[in-house]
Amino acid sequence: MKLGPGKNDKEDRSDHPDISIILPAMNEELTIGRCIERIRDGLSRCELSAEIVVSDSSSDRTPEIARSMGARVVHPKNRGYGNAYLEGFRASRGGIIVIGDSDGTYDFSELPRLVAPILKGADLVVGSRFQGTMEKGSMPALHYYIGNPLLTKILNLAFKTNYSDTHSGFRAITRTAWESLNLRSTGMEFASEMLVMASINGLKVAEVPISYSPRVAASKLHSFADGWRHLRFLFLLKPIPFLAIPGLLFSLMGVMLMGIFSLYGDVNQLHLNTFILGAFFLIGGVQFVLSAISIKTYSVVHGYDRMEGVAKYLMNYYNLEKMLVIGGILIFAGILLGSTIVADWISTGYGVLNQFSQAVTALLLTIVGLQVILTSIFVSMMLLNESSIPGE
């Protein structure tokens, strides 16, 4: 296959078209027709047979308009950006799959530019709005200056990629590459999952500049909620840099504060508040680290990551049992220290207590011990009956 002059008489006539264009749609009756017209314009300059699949969750005339223009319409069982694409992928038959929003923001007549790298050997092509042309008003200032650049930077740093626009919805991918990714996200984080899994699976990725236009109808995006979904997904895949490392730093800060004032200061009389702050840092830091372990386990069990390095050590049943023992020792130490305080209180005739630093330490040991035990139990439960974990 190669790009060439107009030849599109095979469109919608083959059981195995060269290309499938998937359009998710929810109440896009104002723009669906224009999108399909632009797709036909782009296809007129390709030697590619094609089909158009509209994955529709509309309550307006969107599906009727799409069918009248020759598109095949499917209906996902559940709403959601990812659900729409997953249903569209299942229904598609083309060797190359192009995806793009049906809200009129993407110019589908640029389809030949998007597909060209695929025909030259790329597995995935992302249309970059930031490398191309954005019309005035096409992207809110919050998204243009903060949201998209920040999330793109985080993804690039975490996965050693070099995307310029990780949230562009105009993309092309080979069917073989798509099947290798095993995408499962049902919401807006689907866009991030595709790029992350492409990096993990070593796909050959290309970016091409595209144009971007303002929406005709009101936007369905929820800036902070959708941004959080993308960020949460990155946390799932990379809990160590996002949670464990900050947690270790907080824990170290807590140990230093508590240690310094225990050795060189009168904690009970002069530095109790700072001592308590240190305990707070330590407990919070430990929780960050243990949460990272739990999230890493979830990621491995569900196929988003591999069991290797520190994760392989921590997810070993014998080492989880060691965590139970460590947690038990910490709890016992906390209870023992607390008991000595109670014994001293009783021996002084239930007078005023001045062992505040010891009480804080006893509480800290007990809480951290419980954190360790509960995390080891939770991780053990996630690993039950998991006989074929990636990388094991």
pLDDT tens-digit series, residues 53-65 = 999 999 999 999 9
Model-wide pTM > 0.85: no
pLDDT tens-digit series, residues 113-138 = 999 999 999 999 999 999 999 999 89
216, pLDDT greater than 90: no
pLDDT at 265: 67
Q: With bands split at pLDDT 50, 70 and 90, how would you rate the model's confidence at 36?
A: very high
pLDDT at 223: 72
Q: With bands split at pLDDT 50, 70 and 90, how would you rate the model's confidence at 379?
A: confident
Place of tokens 């249309």: 127
Q: How large is the average pLDDT for residues 134-150?
A: 91
pLDDT at 55: 96
Query: In the chain, where are the structural domains located?
Result: 19-236, 238-382
What is the C-alpha to C-alpha distance for residues 41 and 54, in angstroms, rounded to an integer?
A: 17
pLDDT tens-digit series, residues 72-115 = 999 999 988 999 999 999 999 999 999 999 999 999 999 999 99
Q: With bands split at pLDDT 50, 70 and 90, how would you rate the model's confidence at 7?
A: very low
Q: How large is the average pLDDT for residues 153-169?
A: 92
40, pLDDT greater than 60: yes
Q: Considering only the top CATH level, what class is 19-236?
A: alpha beta
**DSSP state string for 195-223:** HHHHHHTT--EEEEEEEE---SS-----H
Q: How large is the average pLDDT for residues 2-13?
A: 42
CB 35 within 8 A of CB 102: yes
pLDDT at 385: 64
What is the C-alpha to C-alpha distance for residues 389 and 369, in angstroms, rounded to an integer?
A: 28
4, pLDDT greater than 50: no
Phi first, then psi, for residue 146 (nearest 5°) are -120, -65
pLDDT at 2: 38
pLDDT tens-digit series, residues 238-272 = 888 889 999 999 999 999 988 888 777 677 667 78
CB neighbour list of residue 320: distance below 8 Å, 6 or more residues apart? 314, 376, 379, 380, 383
346, pLDDT greater than 90: no
66, pLDDT greater than 80: yes
pLDDT tens-digit series, residues 290-340 = 999 898 888 888 777 766 666 677 777 677 888 999 999 999 999 999 999
What is the C-alpha to C-alpha distance for residues 254 and 280, in angstroms, rounded to an integer?
A: 7
